[in-house]
Structure 1
Amino acid sequence: MKHSLLFSLLFLGATAAHAQVPMPAPAQSKPIALMGGTLHVGNGTVIPDAAVVFGAGRILYAGPRTGLLSTENAEIVDVKGQEIYPGLILPNTTLGLTETESVRATVDEREVGELNPNVRSLIAYNTDSDILPTVRTNGVLLAQITPRGGLLSGQSSVVQLDAWNWEDAAVRPDEGQHLVWPTSAPPRFFGGATNDPRAAERREQARQQRLNELEQLFSEASAYRYLSTAHATNLRLASLTGLFDGSKTLYIHADNGKEILEAVRFAKRLGVQKVTVVGARDAWMMLDFLKQNDVAVVLSRIHALPLRDGDDYDQAYKLPATLQKAGIRYCLDYEGSMETAGSRNLAFVAGTAAGFGLTKEQALTAVTLSPAQIMGLDKDYGSLEAGKSATLVVSRGDLLDMRTNNLTHAYIDGREFNRDNKQTYLGNKFTTKYGVQ
């Protein structure tokens, strides 16, 4: 009887373990050479019959196989007929902050209040989220963990998606502040927008008051930089000072053209050095303005209907190509229904952009090297070049096509991690149960 009980407990434990988040991979122990695949560097270059060699987490060689002098002591991995890509980088996400959107206890993406510049999303990031492995399976290996809510939401951080805890996951902590620009548009109800002029006046007064409070906070933060270190630290002001010396980026969340114009001018007037607009669905209306002010764009909602009845039906789809042609720095993110779980579809958002004006390599750059440049990671991530981090994936087919995206190998800093996740476990379980081929 004791033996039966022990067997049952062990069986249940083993079954439950299969559904857990896989254990992070150990550090790379010896060089690895991927041989024979087609290399997509991430900067627009494609190299057929390539070799990628990496050791101690860094790329030692990435180029034609014929140019590789030696593979001594390296583990040879034959990837002939497959595609090698940089790991995808996901901007503006609540990944690791939200588990089940309908269960409030699993949502930790916002703080109470309007002005929270000292909030750090990084310390709330949950490395044991069941969603993380499902996102990695489609090639997303880095993410910008971003807070939500209020006027000044707080600080985002870039993490890699295979770690024991948030300290190990951090790639670039507290790299930017997120400002949700207050809209001047009236709220919409089931019956449409209200036309009450008094209500509109009250809304505008409230909006102006919020902007005045924001300007006062930014002015105080700018002055705070010059205080001696003998003063007690003010966390709210200290967290903003990096905006004025260029060590942090101000991410302004705005879609409407008028609001983008207003927000960028506000930031520039107050001395903010680096500005990026997130959302930016009206960016096509103000190409010259964005270019002249060197404003980068994080495009959201590529899979979306037009904002207005008079817009082109494919306005959202072709916007990346419009920015590409205008020479504006941009990258793509995933924002929509089921934002956190849906972020696994980042590659397919890029694939859509490739179907509406971008080349496949331009679309790949928009989810690899471009976000790395905007977030200040491009010295280490975003493209497969000698000296950079060995953060890459190998797919049997086109990574940006949902019909052919099929990872066979994936590495973060040279560590090949377990690609299993809860969904693959359940798929295998019920395939076996019902005998599906």
Structure 2
Amino acid sequence: MKHIFFSLTLLTALPALAQVPTPAPAQSKPLLLMGGTLHVGNGTVIPDATVAFDKGRLTYAGPQAGFTQDKSGYEVVDVKGQQIYPGLILPNTTLGLTEVEAIRATVDEAEVGAINPNVRALIAYNTDSDILPTVRTNGVLLAQITPRGGVISGQSSIVQLDAWNWQDAAVRADDGLHLNWPALILKLNPAEDAAALEKREKARQQQLRDLEQLLSEAAAYRSLPAGRKENLRLSSLAGLFDGSKTLFLHADYGKEIIEGVRFAKRLGVQKVTVVGARDAWMMLDFIKQNDVAVILSRVHALPRRTGDDYDQPYKLPAQLQQAGIRYCLDYEGGMEAPGARNLAFIAGTAAGHGLTPEQALTAVTLSPARILGIDKDYGSLEAGKSATLVVSTGDLLDMRTNNVTRAYIDGRGFNLTNKQTYLRDKFKGKYGQK
């Protein structure tokens, strides 16, 4: 009987620990955050500020002295001494698609095959992922859920991170196509002979021909009369030619970036964003002249070449800023999904290597909102926009002082607990810490 009782207790306790907090209900009463320092997200900082929101929308965000409405109908929260920020936006991520990277059954980020423009990451997004609450606790409230693998991985979507299901989570569905540009053929193995190198080059050229044929067919498909039999692969690419979707070109080497951008422009693609772009510092003029946005990956990385500056990855955001290039930051790399909680600290590193703190904040709030096409509602704290924000007792971009005490998505204040906070509190108790 003791064994049975213990087993039943364990079975009931484990699910309770594993469950993600219930999504918050819609905002029911107007709310005021008063006395905090407001970081708008566009470079403006307002001390002793008031932020008011109702029905999920901001009605006021400015100096406390400028708010003259009757406060009696509001729930008033004193955040004096704290910092108020827009919710961080994470582009190019597998959040909700990957749970435990070492367990294949929990990884749903890639489809079989090399060219899958009709694949939609959104329908695979898991709102019950245990990783999502750990990311929200550090201020990340929206994300671009992005497929991986192949040459054309599929279509990404932008979601908010407190929802019952993928339908509720969707902020902008199918915002763009992700193209992994075929890598340049480099002889990295001294033992590789000329014939093997030539074989790899021929395979790459065939990939480029296949890509060109596919995009040319997709452009022609748009001109066919209504009532035609739908071709899902071609119709999913149609938005690239009218600007309703963005081509996210994943490339790192300078020559790959130039080749990929010229390829897309030549075939009539209207909006191109380079993802990765670790060699962007070598071709700032090219990127600027072609009006290409950049989603910069791997700021926390070693230099790519032995001759590069030791801090080249850290200072690249500042170089893009100085060149006037549209850019934002992501978190792509090893342990990508759980590591996404460090997005704020990626921006903090950039702030320590040439960016101002507010420029770094913009790189993870308003800039990604603009690049992803959701800046009408998200990315900055201005009247009329969504009340998606976080409150921290310290600097959100500094891992030493980051401490989010409140967070709201579309005005809904949600539970900030997660497995990591549970374990923290558990072991604080064990060792007698307060």
Q: Decide: shared fold, TM above 0.5.
A: yes
Match of 2:316 in 1: 319
Q: Are 1:80 and 2:77 an aligned pair?
A: no
Q: Are 1:29 and 2:28 an aligned pair?
A: yes
Match of 1:106 in 2: 106
User: Number of residues paired by the alignment?
Assistant: 433
Match of 1:346 in 2: 343
Q: How does 1:112-123 map to 2 (within 5 A)?
A: 112-123=112-123
Tell me how far 1:309 sits from its aligned partner.
Answer: 1.0
For 2:106 and 2:152, the matched residues in 1 are separated by 22
For 1:12 and 1:215, the matched residues in 2 are separated by 55
Q: Give the residue type in structure 2 aligned to 1:354.
A: A
Q: How does 1:179-258 map to 2 (within 5 A)?
A: 179-186=179-186, 188=188, 192=189, 194-258=191-255
Match of 2:430 in 1: 433
Tell me how far 1:160 sits from its aligned partner.
Answer: 0.2
Inter-CA distance 195–15: structure 2 relative to 1 (3 Å threshold): closer
Asked whether the equivalents of residues 387 and 411 of structure 2 are also in contact (C-alpha less than 8 Å), the reply is yes
For 2:302 and 2:248, the matched residues in 1 are separated by 24
For 1:350 and 1:141, the matched residues in 2 are separated by 16
Percent of aligned positions with the same letter in both sequences? 75
- SS in structure 1 of the partner of residue 376 of structure 2: coil
Match of 1:20 in 2: 19
Match of 2:389 in 1: 392
Query: In structure 2, which of residues 274, 296, 299 is the aligned counterpart of residue 299 of structure 1?
Result: 296
Inter-CA distance 320–6: structure 2 relative to 1 (3 Å threshold): same
Instruction: Identify unmatched segments of 5+ residues in structure 2.
Output: none
- SS in structure 1 of the partner of residue 99 of structure 2: coil
Q: Are 1:268 and 2:265 an aligned pair?
A: yes
For 2:276 and 2:115, the matched residues in 1 are separated by 20
Quote the RMSD (CA, aligned, Å).
Answer: 1.8
For 1:11 and 1:93, the matched residues in 2 are separated by 34
For 2:5 and 2:192, the matched residues in 1 are separated by 71
Asked whether the equivalents of residues 296 and 374 of structure 1 are also in contact (C-alpha less than 8 Å), the reply is yes
- SS in structure 2 of the partner of residue 370 of structure 1: helix
- SS in structure 2 of the partner of residue 62 of structure 1: strand
Inter-CA distance 196–10: structure 2 relative to 1 (3 Å threshold): closer
Asked whether the equivalents of residues 187 and 194 of structure 1 are also in contact (C-alpha less than 8 Å), the reply is no
Inter-CA distance 420–413: structure 2 relative to 1 (3 Å threshold): same
Q: Give the residue type in structure 2 aligned to 1:274.
A: K
Q: Give the residue type in structure 1 aligned to 2:43.
A: G
Tell me how far 1:72 sits from its aligned partner.
Answer: 3.5
Give CA-to-partner distance per residue, 1:143-190, whole Å, 9 cap, x none.
Answer: 0000000000000000000000000000000000000000113375xx
- SS in structure 1 of the partner of residue 264 of structure 2: helix
Match of 1:378 in 2: 375
Inter-CA distance 8–74: structure 2 relative to 1 (3 Å threshold): farther
Tell me how far 1:436 sits from its aligned partner.
Answer: 3.5
Query: Comparing 74-83 with 199-208, which one deviates more in the overlay?
Result: 199-208
> Structure 1-normalised TM-score?
0.96
Give CA-to-partner distance per residue, 1:377-422, whole Å, 9 cap, x none.
Answer: 0000000000000000000000000000001100000000100001
Query: Comparing 332-341 with 142-151, which one deviates more in the overlay?
Result: 332-341
Match of 2:407 in 1: 410
Tell me how far 1:11 sits from its aligned partner.
Answer: 8.8
For 1:325 and 1:105, the matched residues in 2 are separated by 44
Tell me how far 1:225 sits from its aligned partner.
Answer: 0.7
Q: Are 1:42 and 2:46 an aligned pair?
A: no
Inter-CA distance 385–161: structure 2 relative to 1 (3 Å threshold): same
Tell me how far 1:16 sits from its aligned partner.
Answer: 3.7
Asked whether the equivalents of residues 272 and 292 of structure 2 are also in contact (C-alpha less than 8 Å), the reply is yes
Instruction: Identify unmatched segments of 5+ residues in structure 1.
Output: none
For 1:150 and 1:399, the matched residues in 2 are separated by 36
Give CA-to-partner distance per residue, 1:194-239, whole Å, 9 cap, x none.
Answer: 5422111111100000000000000010011111221111110010
For 1:129 and 1:90, the matched residues in 2 are separated by 16
